[in-house]
Structure 1
Amino acid sequence: MAPTDQQLVLLDFWVSPFGQRVRIALAEKNLPYEYVEEDLLAGKSDRLLSSNPIHKKIPVLLHGDKPVNESLIILQYLDEAFPDAPSLLPSDPYARAQARFWADYVDKKVYDCGSRLWKLKGEPQQQARAEMVEILRTLEGELGEKEFFGGEHGFGFVDAALAPFSAWFPSYERFGEFKVAEVAPGIAAWVERVGKRDSVAKSLYAPDKVYDFIGVLKKKYGIE
C-alpha cells in the first residue's frame, strides 16, 4: 500500500487549538480521515499514550500505523506526504523559512500568554495583558496589507497555525479587558476573513463554548 493510500486517523480533543490546526489543514487538503475524540479531562487513552509516549499529548496523526506528533510538525508532514494536495507552505525556501518562523512565534507566544490572562490576577495578569497586546501588534505588523499571512500563496501555514485562536480571542478580551479590534485592527479584520473559510468554520467551536471550557478549567484548577 502506498503511503498516500494509508488511512489517516486523528487523535484529538474538541477545543484544542493545536488539534484544530490539523483539522484545518486536512480540510484545506481535502484529505479524508477518522476523527477520534480523546476525553482528556477524564484521562488519556492507551492509544494516545502509546502513540505519543514522550509528550503524551494530542494531537496525534496516525498515518497507517505510524504516529506523527506535534501540530506544526504534522502540518509539515501533510505537505510532504501528500504532495498532490494543496500545500500550506510556499515553494520558495526563504518564504518557507519565514512561514515556519512565524508559526513558531504563534506556538510559543499566544496560548501561553492567553492562559496567563485567565489564570492570574492583579499585576501578573496586567503583565500578560500587555504582552498579549504586543503579540497581536507584532502579528499585525507581519500581516501588513496582505489578505492572509501566506501572501501571494494565499491561506497558508501561519494562517492555519493562528486561526484556531480566533475562537479564544473573545475570552482573552474578557479576562484581559481589551479589544482586539482596538489594539490590532488588522488582526481583527483577518479574523473576519479567515472565519469565512469552510476549513476554519467547520473546525472551530463558538467563542462562548471556549469561554465555558475555560470556566471548567478554572474550576478544575481551583482558580477563582
Structure 2
Amino acid sequence: MRLRFDGWIAGLGTSHGTRLVLGHWARSPFGAFSDVMVERPDGERLLFAPTRETADFVSGTYVFDRVCVVPVDVSVDGDTWTVAAGPLLRRFTTGRRGLLGLLLRVVPGSLARRPAWSALTDLPARVLLPGVRTRGSAGGDRKEWYGARDLRPVRTVSATFEGGDLGVVAPVDPPVRFGFGSVPRAPALTRVTTTVRLGTEEPGPS
C-alpha cells in the first residue's frame, strides 16, 4: 500500500544548536495535519504530533527518543509562518525563490507523485543539496520517496523551547538524524509530495 502526503516541509537550524523540521500537510491519509521534529544540541530527537494516530505513523517511519502528542497549530500570513507545538513556539519568514525553486515550480504534481521521478532526481539532489535524499528505506520496513515542487529560503526565525530562546536562524548543521536523509543545510521551505510504501507486515490506515 502506498500513502501520499502533499504539503510543505520547513527545515532550519538555530544559533543555539537546535534543529527543527516542520511537516505541514494539506492532504494526507489522516486528513490535514502538521507535525514538528526537533533535534536538540545534545542529540535528543523529539516528535510533536497532534493525535496518537499521526504520532504512531510518523514514529513508525522515523526515529525519535521522545514522542509527544500535543496540539500543533500552524498559521501562514504571506511569507510569515507561525508554529505552536506544546513547549515549542517559532515564527519564520521566507524569502524569494532562487533558480532551483523556480525550476521546481514547473514540475507537474502528477509527475512529483511518481516514485520513478524521485529515483531519477535522487542523485542531482545529493549533488545540489548535500545531505538530501529523495528516496530511501524508512522504519517499519517502509520505503519513502520525496517529489519536490517548490523551494524558498528561510530568512529569519524566532523560536523558544520550554521558555528558552533558541537564537537566530542558522544552517542545519549537523544534519538531522530522524531518517535516511536530512533537510537542506541552508534553511528552506519545500513544497513536496511524499509517498510512503508500507511494508508487507504492516496494514495501512483505513
> Shorter-chain TM-score: what band?
under 0.3
Q: Which has the higher strand share?
A: 2
- Please state which structure has a larger fraction of its residues in helix: 1
Question: TM-score, structure 1 length as denominator?
Answer: 0.24
**CA radius of gyration, larger in:** 1
* TM-score, normalised via structure 2 length: 0.26
